[in-house]
Amino acid sequence: MKIVIANCVGIDSDGHTIIPYPSRWTTSARNHKDAFTYYPKDLGYLSTLLKRDTGHDVKLVDACLERYDKETYAKVITSEKPDWLIMESSTRTITDDLWVARKVKEVCGAKIMMTGQHPSAFAQETLKNCDVVIRGEFLAPALKFFKNGVGQTGVVIEFDKSSLIDVKDLPYPEDEDVSRFDYALKGDPICQYKEIQLYTSRGCPYRCIYCVASHTYYGGPDWRPRSEDDVVEEMRQLFQKYPDCEGIFFDDEIHNADIKRIKRLCKAIIAAGLNDKKYNAMCAYHTFDHEALTLMKEAGYYLVRVGIETASDEVARGLWLKGKHRPAKLRAFLEMAKEIGIEVYGTFTMGGPGSNEVEDRKTIWLMKELIEENYISDCQVSICVPQPGAPFFDIVSQSGDISGRSWSDYDGGTTGVVDYPGYSAKRIKEIRDEAMTAYDEARYIRDRVRFKSNWADEVSKITKEPHGILLFRSSRDWHLALVLNAIKESWPMARVSMLCHENHTAVYSKDFPWLDLIVYRSDGFINIDSLNDDALSKMKSMSADVAFIPSNIYHCRGYSNVTEVAQKSGATRLFFINSAGVIIPVDDLYGK
């Protein structure tokens, strides 16, 4: 029997590029076909489980890796002639995913199994569109379903905590039908190296009110660590198979739930001689101690990602952060990490339960201070979205505060769907925008010294003095300000033009009156499909001898869309300028 296992659609019906964060949330980007994507963790495990333990012909396909829209995806899946299609779906993509499933069923008669966040939250409703729904973590139930024949159809397989997979039974996830290294090359913007995603544990001992993973997949607190030896063996095999792989992103729900285990893992990495690679990990700050961070540094960890979420005790209570919210412990951890030399990436959220303008502004001030004082190297500021399946959704649904109109509004992070009395979704979005302005200010203040110092060395890479310089509004404002100032200082006589989104031209013409602005009339990421003809003609007519593509991402990957525009502009030499002021020839990343 042929079974196709499929991730959600890669491009939705509105043309948005979909970025699923497996078991957490799904977000999207406009006009950004080269956006990164994460390895589909549980689908990858299911693929190797079914291949190992059943006699079926199994294939994993990922529309997010290939950037398929729903029509193309349905054709690709249908061409495999599956008897069964298994999909993992979230609220953000459920409408398009079910379209694909129905199309596949219509064309080749395949039966459909739906899993994931949205099917778990609305199981009976989803069942109307498919043959089987599995609620919660689906590895063990799906294996049971397809082992020794096929299980019963027309049913919802309910979540059963005793059916969570034993991590000792897990093979390494799929690496043949899709390459795990391809996801490293896609370049999660926070990773600074080419890092494969690897999972050393399953579950999480906490139950934050907004969390899909804890509530929907694992049925509440649960944490299943793999043995250190098994983790190190998987790492060794990956580094052997992919010599260009520079490190690992430990994308656990929480890597350091047991700090003693982290110390053992670090010692095992060092003993295996793998401490010459680079590692970063999803962590919680409150379990760290000095010894653990020191060992991590020795083992090759350069960055830890921690949820700070809020500066407000009131919001922390509303978010059910409980033991995760410890302001004194946060300060102590940040001091230790700074002293030891491990970078910290922090996550913050706005508009959660218990929030209002006053409380969320406390979080903005904290974020700004931590960036300016270099306690965190970077951060994410999201809007707290009540995802179906998490208690936050049930609470705001019952109180009638929800204002999301369609499932595609449940984008992870930037769309407000809750109207509290006195704190509307619109106002939450404005406060989040305020946070991003504060972020830009803080990054400018903190990063200018490093940027200027690197630029002084890097500028010699532009061997012939440019007379016409073209650049693109392809980075955040703090970074563009540093780039523009550096260019003006280095080549004061050059004519400098920037392709700039229409709604930002007023600010740039005020702050940089010497800059010639070419208006880009679309929104989202700059790309050739949306480029207006007059902008292209203007770029060509300036005959730039150098084009710079500013990237606030360290590794500059994921910029092929704007690179295509730069290549069409007629500029003779193309370079990225990264967040640290390093100049990278475009050919080094995208070839000639």
Q: Please list, residue by residue across 487-522, b when 16 or more beta carbons sit within 10 angstroms of its beta carbon and e when fewer do.
A: beeebeebbbbbbbbeebbeebeeebeebbbbebeb
User: Which residue's CB is nearer to ligand SF4, number 208 or number 438?
Assistant: 208
Nearest approach, Cβ of 206 to ligand SF4 (angstroms)? Answer: 4
Map residues 264-303 to x or -, x wherever contact with ligand SF4 holds by CB under 6 A: ----------------------------------------
Which member of 147, 207, 267, 452 binds ligand SF4 (CB under 6 A)? 207
Report the SS3 class of residue 478: helix
Map residues 302-331 to x or -, x wherever contact with ligand SF4 holds by CB under 6 A: -----x------------------------
Q: Does 208 bind ligand SF4 (CB under 6 A)?
A: yes
Q: Does 571 bind ligand SF4 (CB under 6 A)?
A: no
Q: Does residue 8 contact residue 93 with C-beta atoms inside 8 Å?
A: yes
Mark the segment that binds ligand SF4 (CB under 6 A) among 47-55, 112-120, 206-214, 310-318: 206-214
504 phi and psi angles, rounded to 5 deg: -115, 0
- To which residue do tokens 């109307």 refer? 128
Starting from the edge strand earliest in sequence, which strands make up the sheet with 247-250, in order?
195-198, 247-250, 278-283, 301-309, 343-350, 378-383
Nearest approach, Cβ of 40 to ligand SF4 (angstroms)? Answer: 18
Q: Does 254 bind ligand SF4 (CB under 6 A)?
A: yes
Which member of 3, 6, 85, 211 binds ligand SF4 (CB under 6 A)? 211
Could you give the angle at which helices 70-79 and 94-108 cross, rounded to 10 degrees?
40
The structure tokens listed for 574 are 């193309």
Nearest approach, Cβ of 351 to ligand SF4 (angstroms)? Answer: 16
Nearest approach, Cβ of 222 to ligand SF4 (angstroms)? Answer: 10
Map residues 186-205 to x or -, x wherever contact with ligand SF4 holds by CB under 6 A: ------------------x-
User: Which residue's CB is nearer to ligand SF4, number 84 or number 249?
Assistant: 249
Q: Does 251 bind ligand SF4 (CB under 6 A)?
A: no
Tally DSSP H helices, then E strands, for the chain: 22, 22
CB atoms closer than 10 angstroms to residue 143:
19
Report the SS3 class of residue 69: strand
Which member of 253, 447, 458, 477 binds ligand SF4 (CB under 6 A)? 253
The structure tokens listed for 236 are 């060794």
Which member of 206, 333, 393, 508 binds ligand SF4 (CB under 6 A)? 206
Q: Does 47 bind ligand SF4 (CB under 6 A)?
A: no
Non-local (6+) Cβ contacts of 317 within 8 A are: 354
Number of residues binding to ligand SF4, judged by CB under 6 A:
10
Per-residue DSSP letter, 530 = G
Which member of 213, 296, 425, 582 binds ligand SF4 (CB under 6 A)? 213
Amino acid at 309: E
User: Which residue's CB is nearer to ligand SF4, number 24 or number 111?
Assistant: 24
Nearest-angstrom CA–CA distance, 415 and 418: 9
Rama region for 312: left / alpha / beta (φ>0; ψ in -120 to 50; rest):
beta
Nearest approach, Cβ of 97 to ligand SF4 (angstroms)? Answer: 23
User: Which residue's CB is nearer to ligand SF4, number 92 or number 105?
Assistant: 92
- To which residue do tokens 């100032």 refer? 485
User: Which residue's CB is nearer to ligand SF4, number 26 or number 214?
Assistant: 214
Nearest-angstrom CA–CA distance, 18 and 405: 19
Question: Mind spelling out the 3-state secondary structure of 6-52?
Answer: ECCCCECCCCEEEEEECCCEEEEEECCCCCCCCCCHHHHHHHHHHHH
Which member of 28, 37, 126, 214 binds ligand SF4 (CB under 6 A)? 214
Nearest-angstrom CA–CA distance, 235 and 258: 20
Nearest approach, Cβ of 254 to ligand SF4 (angstroms)? Answer: 5
User: Which residue's CB is nearer to ligand SF4, number 21 or number 39?
Assistant: 21
Site for ligand SF4, rule CB under 6 A: 204, 206-208, 211, 213-214, 253-254, 307
